[in-house]
Each structure stands twice: as structure tokens, then as C-alpha cells.
Structure 1
Amino acid sequence: MAAQRNYDLDALRGLAALSVAVGHCATAIGGVGPALRMTIETAPDATLQDGVFRLLHIVFHADAAVIVFFVLSGLVLSRSLRSRDDGIVAYIVRRTFRLFPVAAASALIIGYLTPASTWSQILGASILYDTSLNGVLWTLQIEVWGSLWVYAAATGRRIHPALFYAFVAATIAVSYFDHRPVPLFMSAFALGAIIDDLPATVITRVAAVLGLVALMTADFMLGQGFAMRCWQMAGAVCVVAYISRNSIWLTANRFAHFLGRISYPFYLLHLAGALIVAKLGVRSLDLNPFSLFAVYSVTSIAIAIALAWITHLAVEVPGMAMGEKTRRLLAAPRPAPKVA
């Protein structure tokens, strides 16, 4: 029997996607200097404008939201494989239909809005190979590797739990020595995969609040580096673990659930909203940086939500349905040959 869907986790993914969008707006208006990279050591020398935009980056932390994506995928994919496993081929087919149709649709839209784009870039973005057209696609490349990691881990768990935990430990150990994106972020999938094994005594509201603080302030307190990533991942685990077992208003309201439904196309298509806003001349308005940020954020996000909803209905839902239909065909037992 398939596991019951947790809509609060979907909502958390949607809110994380919104955080990425707002964070990117803050970068577009506030710049990539002190407003983005400020730490507790450099804060005393910051201007008021840089300080406000740095606070926006903490509250709407695009980088931390990506870690939440990875931990969520580790948890949700592990749960789906515990309740049903039709084999590696069916799993890959289902994930392919889940990820690539929306990626292709977003590549076409963004390519159309970017006059300098080439068909090579559009094709590369459609298959998650080329990130030059849409910078956020690097996270989808990690997602593909993470999907394979989760299947390998789930297979190990079915053989023997000790093999699963050895695989998790090895993954975390590798990330300690190899800080390249794929080895490093597989630890986030690994931590997500063990959330359901955590005792209820450690999954508390206090732990979730402390985890959220660690998640959002790690780069401000520690600066860039491996230690910062460790704090982010630990914080993301605390937050995801709590939401996986508790419903709170932030993830239980209708808007959050709506964002959860369209989170994937919204995540990919906020750039399209930003490009449309740029064509409308919003960034050239004679406004102070804070007002410009507000106008730019609201308009680009509103356009992206509209595009995401259309893409969700026209591409994502049919794609998932096709993936599920194909999975069932692959999983269906073949009739035994008749003996003459």
C-alpha cells in the first residue's frame, strides 16, 4: 500500500521555493557583495542598505532552501520505496517523467525570453545537462544523483538494515573528505533517509526552532565552508523531521499547499518571471532600493506563479500520470507462456 501523502512536506517544499525566489530578488537588487556575503565579523562595517539586504537573505535564504530540498527528497523518496519498489527500471522511468518534462518546458519558455539563447542551451537545459540558461539547474543535477543514491540505500535496507546504515555512514564520511557538490550534498539525502528512524524524543518544537536558526544563520555566523554546510544540513534535518510528524499553520494553510503543488515549475520558472519584469522596465524605475526590491519581487513572483500553474496543469500533471502509467506497465507480471 502506498504511503499517505504528507501535504505539509509538500508545503515546506513550496515555501522553500518561495524563499529561493525572494532571495534571488534580493540578490538582483541588493547585489552580490556585502549584502550577500556579510558575516558576523564584517557586519560592523556594513552600510544600512547592505545590512537590510543581508537580513533579507537570512530570512529568505535561497542557499539554505536548497539544502531543505535535498533533505526532503531523501525522506520522501525513501518513504515511497519502503511502501513500494517495482525495480530500478520502473523507478528511473518514474523519476524521469517527474523531472524532465517540466525541465524541458521551462527551458523552452526561458529560451524564448532570452534572445541570446541557443538551441544547444535549450536542449542542454531540457535534459539538465547545461546550466548556462538557468542557473538553478545545478540543483536538479544533484537531485538526479540523489535519486539514484536513495534507491541504492533503499536496496541496502531491504537486504539488511546494517548495510543501509553502513552506506549512510560511508556517504557522510566521503563528504568530509570530498567537498565537491555531488559527494557533499549526498549527505543531505542520507540524512533525509534516516529521519523516519529518529526517536520521537529528539523531534521536538525546540529542536525545530534551533534547527531553523542554524539553517538560516550558518553562513552569517561561520562564513563559507564545510562547517557551514554541516550546520545547514543539521538544521534542515531538524526542520524537516518536525514537519514530517507535526502539522503547523505555516505549512497547513491553503497558500502553502498551493505553493507545494507548483513548487517544481515555480522554482524553475522564477527566472522567466524576472526576465518578463526586466522587459517591462521595472528595474529602471526611479525608486529607492527597498521599494524597487518590493515591486520587483511581487511582480516577478506573481508572473512566475502564473506560469508555474499553467505548466503544472499542462505539463507536470500529465507527465507524472504518464510516469505512473509506465511504471505500472513495467511492474505488471508477465503471463507465463502456454505449453502446447
Structure 2
Amino acid sequence: MEKVDVIPPEPSNYLVQLTSVRGIACLFVLIGHAVQVFHYKKENIPTGWWIFSSLFNAEAAVLVFFVLSGCVLSLALRKMDKPSWRFIGAFYVQRAFRIYPLLWFSVGLSLLCLWSVRQTISYASVVDWLARNLSTPIDIHRVFLALMGVFTRYNGPMWSLRVELLFSVVYPFMLIVLRKQRYRSILLIVCFLIALIPFPDGLGPQFALAFCLGTLITIFPAPKKHYPWVTVGCFIMLMCDRFVFSNMHFRENVFDIFETIFSFFLIRNIYFFGKDMKFLNSRFLVNVGELSYSIYLLHLQLMLVLFSVFMKVWGEKGLLESPVSTQILLVLSTFLMTLILSCFTYRVIELPLHSLGRTIARTMRSSG
């Protein structure tokens, strides 16, 4: 079989900086949910606090995750110099062991949390998509689909896991095409056109552009010079584009395209010049990045339980009429509880089973 044109380089310690980026992104999602998912009394939100809290763009953080996935997944297949079912099969095994064990745990936790809070938190107090999730019946069929990663209403953040699963299946073939210079532009154009289609939220195909651009980070040559203002500018735009352009009434997929492009340049600069960004070597950010998968999947259920507990003390009306104090309380308590649980799931579920998946994948690649 014909070899591909480009093989990504061996990974280096830039992965530390990328891990920190994952940590920052998952914190943005957690804070964004604390700010966005409850119907606070708007007239009680000071203008300065409203502007500040609007900068925690959870939607953009998910786009960062997708671009990062494209970048990291290309390295998982970096030694596949030609199409090989052995390598592709090993890739699938490793992804399954990476994604499913914690996903199954999160489904179980979500069902317990739904049972706990759905009778106490009124649907009028939360945004529409969360109200739909809270009112979703629990039955064997839906639970089975949730365990497969297809049905996501029991835990809202699972929608992005469904996207990850979709592109985990097609990714090896996407990578093969992107490594071929004569086909690369065609695939990029197709992915861009798909991104322009207003698919329903969370369906998935519109995010092909993010995975493609993330892959190209490892394929394109390194920039000759680092311009820090580009990195800072991309980060600022990811934070505030939806706030700044809210009056222009762009469709959701237009914002997704903007944020995908900003994410590409941000991750590309960190990939090549991350060693110069000392703050990304922070032990705290690296540790949060290591726990980011657990934090991302588990935080919303715990936030709902904590809100339900706080209701018993201050009442639902009291919480919603004091948005600043409620949001700060939810962020701090949710982060603490999620951090504790994530340390457990990371050591008991993620590390051992991910290691097992890597061992099986390594055996598959070396056999034959």
C-alpha cells in the first residue's frame, strides 16, 4: 500500500502545556454552566459582574477540546506510515478504553442525581435544554443508549462525547486523507461547507472542521517565529466573541466556525512554543488538565445536587435573586466536590483502564 506523505514528529513535552489548556477549558465549562444554566433575576446582576461572567464561554471551550483532540489523536497514529487495519484496530481499542469506562460511571451518577433533584428543582428555574434533561423518563432503552454514548439527555455534557465517539470512528481515515497533499484541500473545503450547515445542536458532523484543523497542527511545519499577541488575541476572542457580537444575531454554527479557527491558532502556538509560556507549567493547571475528562463529565450533576441542597437553606427564590453570591458559591462548591470525585475516578477508573487499553493496543500493533 502507498505510504502517506507526512508523518507527525514524536511527541515532546509540549503535552504538558496542552494538558494545562485542557484544564483551563474544563474550568471555563464548569464556570459557564454555573452562570448560564439557571434563570437568575437579571435586574440583580451588576453590569460589571454580568460582563465578567459572560467571558466564561463554555461553547468555545468545547471547540478547544475538539481541536485538541484532532491534534492529540494524530499523534496516537503517528507511527502508521501507511493504511493498516492493525494500527486502526489498536486505535479503536485504545479510544474505547479511554472514553467508555468513565462515561459509564457518569451515566450511573447522572441517574442517581436526576432521581435526587428532579422533584426539588423546578423546571422554570433552569434553561430549556436542562429542563428537558430533568424531565426525561428513565427507562432501559434510554439507559442502554446512554451507556453507548448515543443518548445524552441524562447528562448534558455527554453530547460532546457523542461527537468524540463519532470522529473516533472516522478519524483514522480522515488522517490518511489529510496526510496526502493532493486530497487535503478537498477534505478541508468539504468540512468547511459541512460546518456552514445548521445541524441540530450536538449532532456532530459540523465539528469535522475542528478535528481536521487540529490534525493539521502536527502536519504543517513549525512557524518560524512566535508572535505572543496572536496567542493572546485568540484567547481573548474565544472568551468574548459571543458577547461582543451578540447583537449581530449570528447563527450558532457561525460562532462555531470562528471559534474553531481561533482555537486552531491558539493550540498551534502552544504546540510549538508552549515551553515559553511558563504559566502553563503550573502544577495546578497540569493537575486539573489530567482530571479534565472527569471534571467535564461529572460537574453538572454535582452542581444540580448542590443547588438542591442550598435550596433547603436559602430557598430557590433566594438563590436566584442573589445571582452573584449564588454563582460564586456554586463555582467553588462544585469545583471542590468535582475535584474530590475526579481524583477518585482518575485513579480508580481512568488510569488503570486507560493503561490496559494502551497495553492491548501496543500488542495489536506489534503482532503480525
TM surpasses 0.5:
yes
Gaps of 5+ in 1: 36-46, 335-340
Distance in 2 (CA, whole Å) between partners of 1:238 and 1:272 is: 33
Deviation of 1:192 after TM superposition, in Å, equals 1.0
Deviations 1:185-233 (A, max 9, x none): 1111111111231551475211111212222222223334143222211
Deviation of 1:281 after TM superposition, in Å, equals 2.3
Report the number of matched residues.
320
Deviation of 1:268 after TM superposition, in Å, equals 0.4
2:61 to 58, 62, 65: 65
Deviations 1:125-179 (A, max 9, x none): 2221111110111111111222234311222245x33223432232223323464
Does the Cα contact within 8 Å between 2:77 and 2:87 map onto a contact in 1? no
1:244 corresponding residue in structure 2: 271
Does the Cα contact within 8 Å between 1:283 and 1:292 map onto a contact in 2? no
Distance in 1 (CA, whole Å) between partners of 2:39 and 2:265 is: 30
1:319 and 2:315 are equivalent in the alignment: no
One-letter amino acid matched to 1:25:
A
Structure-to-structure mapping, 1:318-337, within 5 angstroms: 318-334=352-368
Deviation of 1:113 after TM superposition, in Å, equals 2.3
1:161 and 2:181 are equivalent in the alignment: yes
Structure-to-structure mapping, 1:177-196, within 5 angstroms: 177=197, 179-180=199-200, 181-196=203-218
Distance in 1 (CA, whole Å) between partners of 2:53 and 2:80 is: 39
2:190 to 170, 182, 207: 170
One-letter amino acid matched to 1:257:
V
Distance in 1 (CA, whole Å) between partners of 2:36 and 2:312 is: 13
Residues 267, 143 of structure 1: alpha-carbon distance in 2 compared, 3 angstrom cutoff: same
One-letter amino acid matched to 1:330:
M
Deviation of 1:263 after TM superposition, in Å, equals 0.5
1:27 corresponding residue in structure 2: 36
Residues 2, 238 of structure 1: alpha-carbon distance in 2 compared, 3 angstrom cutoff: closer
1:4 corresponding residue in structure 2: 12
One-letter amino acid matched to 2:175:
A
Identity %: 23
One-letter amino acid matched to 1:23:
G
Does the Cα contact within 8 Å between 1:149 and 1:186 map onto a contact in 2? no
Distance in 2 (CA, whole Å) between partners of 1:212 and 1:179 is: 26
1:233 corresponding residue in structure 2: 260
One-letter amino acid matched to 1:22:
I
Residues 218, 78 of structure 1: alpha-carbon distance in 2 compared, 3 angstrom cutoff: same
One-letter amino acid matched to 1:195:
I
Report the TM-score when normalising by structure 2.
0.79
Distance in 2 (CA, whole Å) between partners of 1:84 and 1:251 is: 30
Higher relative contact order (CA 8 A, sep 6+): 2
Identify the range of structure 1 (65-74 vs 115-124) with the bigger mean alpha-carbon deviation: 115-124
Residues 142, 26 of structure 1: alpha-carbon distance in 2 compared, 3 angstrom cutoff: same
2:27 corresponding residue in structure 1: 18
Report the TM-score when normalising by structure 1.
0.85
1:290 corresponding residue in structure 2: 324
Deviations 1:58-96 (A, max 9, x none): 332111100100111111111222245742211111111
1:269 to 298, 301, 326: 298
Does the Cα contact within 8 Å between 2:20 and 2:280 map onto a contact in 1? yes
RMSD: 2.6
Distance in 1 (CA, whole Å) between partners of 2:19 and 2:233 is: 22
Does the Cα contact within 8 Å between 1:273 and 1:301 map onto a contact in 2? no
Deviation of 1:52 after TM superposition, in Å, equals 4.4
1:55 and 2:47 are equivalent in the alignment: no
SS in 2 for 1:295: helix
Structure-to-structure mapping, 1:301-316, within 5 angstroms: 301-316=335-350
Distance in 1 (CA, whole Å) between partners of 2:245 and 2:139 is: 41
Distance in 1 (CA, whole Å) between partners of 2:87 and 2:159 is: 27
1:42 corresponding residue in structure 2: none
Residues 122, 56 of structure 1: alpha-carbon distance in 2 compared, 3 angstrom cutoff: farther
Structure-to-structure mapping, 1:96-111, within 5 angstroms: 96-111=96-111
2:150 corresponding residue in structure 1: 129
One-letter amino acid matched to 1:3:
P
Residues 256, 127 of structure 1: alpha-carbon distance in 2 compared, 3 angstrom cutoff: same
2:72 corresponding residue in structure 1: 76
SS in 1 for 2:154: coil
Does the Cα contact within 8 Å between 1:212 and 1:238 map onto a contact in 2? no
